Chain A
């Protein structure tokens, strides 16, 4: 531990970023799914800052109730306030809390990192919303902002309460719009959907750009499956497609590597080679300008199947790349990122594949 840590410090030498901490996380048996995601989130700087802020604000709470948010804020603060620059931390309390909150993660089987990320972000939102309504009830101030997820339960008198836009939303939430165009009257009906991440179907030897294109491709509703157009009051042919209406500040892309195979009756891991760029341009959005993103973290799934495997993460911090494998932290060359694209052949020795990609938007302001 100490040796490895000092190895990292030596490698960075004078370039070790001021105030930064690179700590590995102990694995409690199967918690690599959690560790890899935590590292990616820790190095999502705007997100980390919010959590450190939260910890500061709630240091001596009146009601010391523990929840995932407090535990995560605790953990992040713990990491950032370490005296040493490198080392290992055991995120015991956090993992305990995760297991308590969601029975899915209670077992010792292999878990899915994407599922965990999804659960975590939504849980944080829930907690923040509850806190906000608690303070609203006690005080007269209205601190509600614009609409976030869509309408929540209304109040007794039937008035719709506007959901809170939390800093989780501001960082991770994007809006997709589902557009259906009737081919007869050409009226476009649009339905908006919010998302914290985009799950993309993948193909062998493809790229994120092409996967994103497929994601937004046009589907035709015809033959037995026509669209009921409200303007025509009848079934007509239609074209449907999904477009990104509002790209998020942090774009999380989940590659659907685990596919259910009918014949086998179980899930299989697709080790397809899917190239992802260090700099990504989103062109198929409804905004006037293209959105430019920079890759800052990759959660990698190691292994040949969905039920046995390991997760590690690649993280970019202050322009150098680090490899986090539970307790171990190493510096790696940027070119090494390419080795995690996937395998062009079915059976290859390489079983480390990029699974969740974290991109940060370059131009817009952080929350």
Chain B
């Protein structure tokens, strides 16, 4: 364990201006599976056929995916789109209106997407200065979305207004427009704009005109939000342990509900906004009456933190899941609780459907279990239920004494598969290979200059394999790695990324003089950008001369030369060929993350780069 002091986002705003970073993420599989835990779920039922529906998932791999669930087609879920743009964990997602998907991420941004599209981001909304942990949407016919995050920041957005085209008006008019939305005197959007300016120079004109309402009052981080159908009541909770109630239309505080003794991780409001359900790290589920401003019931159902809640429309029953990997159904009126199933991983999010419940966990796969959406009472007829007490961790004590409940279901009715996330890694001394271990225990060796797995050792000891592969060589550290997204993210920072060279003989490159020196970063970049260069050449078309292609490479290397002090001999300048050790796969193409010259970070697959990306963006 160690403390690392660095900002929560990857936008690089704290980095000195001369240095640039390009990151490429090695995808272990094709686009049809998540490669890290799933943080959030949203279900979209199609209007027409009652059988087909879509599931949206947001993952720690930074992407969201849309799955077509077709009951008739043999209970399978097909990935029909990947929404790739966030550069850090996707923490929450909500469906707004008829076709908008809104997501929030640890990269501090909110993004909007056309949910039935092929994955193009329609807008990026930057207002938060730290991780955005949760979203809440009002009912179907409303455009109001609330976002909450670390540092106690809570904002209320009118998505329609946020997505409206940029007006040509000056700042004065924009502020007026936003004042109209906020209304309340004490929560001026101007204040929030000022905060943004002082803390982060990148965000000078965040949303090109639209400024959300700030709900100010949380002194500590927010981890949960909920809104009622009409968008008139917003509840938030976090490390303060208090549930705060707001009027989202003005951003003003209404009341504080005390009771939980630890972080509030999940919140639900009934359709009217009269009742609120909360789940906390103190293991309790609490039912609050906002009219009476107090807690009316507390349920000791779980043996560990409660992280997810879902309820029936009538708020008669609640489904809950959390760190104890268990999914319970509890009758709120008579306290009867039954264990529906036991997952293999902590449960992060739940989404209730008519006849089933979707469960997202720290595993990259999502499971669907049966649920009696309209008639939950039926579940209790099977017996095996218990009465939930009202003291924190009383269930934990009970289970120690041996009364562990038996789950109703053993197998999910549907599994949306994912790929195991990498949880451990080691950069080998040759600085081209990285050893990894994933959640299934599988140990693999990657060649990061090509972005592929070169050895799959299966379930062996990571430490022993590390010792086995130890080589006494010394190559400068030209890249850094992290596995935040569940895959290997390789970071190239100028100028130090150009510090490593090898002889072409050592890399076994045929057709090149043996003692020619090859710059590892440069060749890797060439490999990554090969597709982009080709597309660009195509686009420039008649503009490119015979030297066109060569020039692009020269441009890039020339620019990189101004950053580094490495001398590239004349012949290398004209060299646009990609050597085999640096050929990246087109089947599982890596994604590139880097900072645009206009500010903001972007992310795309290398095969998706269509040549329009700014050259200046690349080191």
Contacts and interface: CB of A to CB of B under 8 A. Distances in A.
A223 interface: yes
Interface stretch (A9-17, A55-63, A179-187, A322-330): A179-187
A225 B88 CA distance: 18
Interface stretch (B3-11, B168-176, B366-374, B449-457): B3-11
Given A186-B305, A228-B2, A237 B150 contact: yes
Interface in A192-228: 220-228
A269 B3 CA distance: 32
B483 interface: yes
A183 B484 contact: no
Given A185-B346, A233-B423, A228 B4 contact: yes
Interface string B586-618: 000000000000000000000000000000000
Contacts of B6: 224, 226, 235
Interface in B1-22: 1-8
Contacts of A230: 1
A221 B150 CA distance: 12
A222 B150 contact: yes
A183 B89 contact: no
A185 B89 contact: no
B7 A224 contact: yes
A220 B221 CA distance: 11
A189 B3 CA distance: 12
Contact of B130 (A221, A223, A232, A239): A223
Contact of A186 (B88, B220, B323): B323
Contact of B4 (A180, A186, A189, A226): A226
Interface string B569-593: 0000000000000000000000000
Contacts of A235: 4, 6, 8, 484
A234 interface: yes
B366 to A, nearest CB: 18
Contact of B484 (A180, A234, A237): A234
A182 B545 CA distance: 56
A266 interface: no
A83 interface: no
Contacts of B223: 183
Given A223-B8, A235-B6, A237-B150, A180 B482 contact: no
Contact of B3 (A223, A228, A232, A233): A228
B298 interface: no
A176 to B, nearest CB: 15
A191 interface: yes
B150 A225 contact: no
A183 B4 CA distance: 16
Interface in A6-33: none
B151 interface: yes
Contacts of A231: 423
Contact of B5 (A225, A234, A239): A225
A233 B6 CA distance: 14
B63 interface: no
Interface in B360-380: 362
Contacts of B151: 222-223
Interface in A226-268: 226-228, 230-235, 237, 239
A215 B95 CA distance: 47
B473 to A, nearest CB: 24
Given A233-B422, A234-B106, 19 more contacts: A183-B239, A185-B362, A186-B305, A220-B220, A220-B239, A222-B130, A223-B8, A223-B130, A223-B151, A225-B3, A226-B6, A227-B3, A233-B483, A233-B484, A234-B88, A234-B482, A234-B484, A235-B4, A235-B484
Interface of A: 180, 183, 185-186, 189, 191, 220-228, 230-235, 237, 239
5 contacts: A223-B8, A224-B8, A227-B1, A234-B88, A234-B89
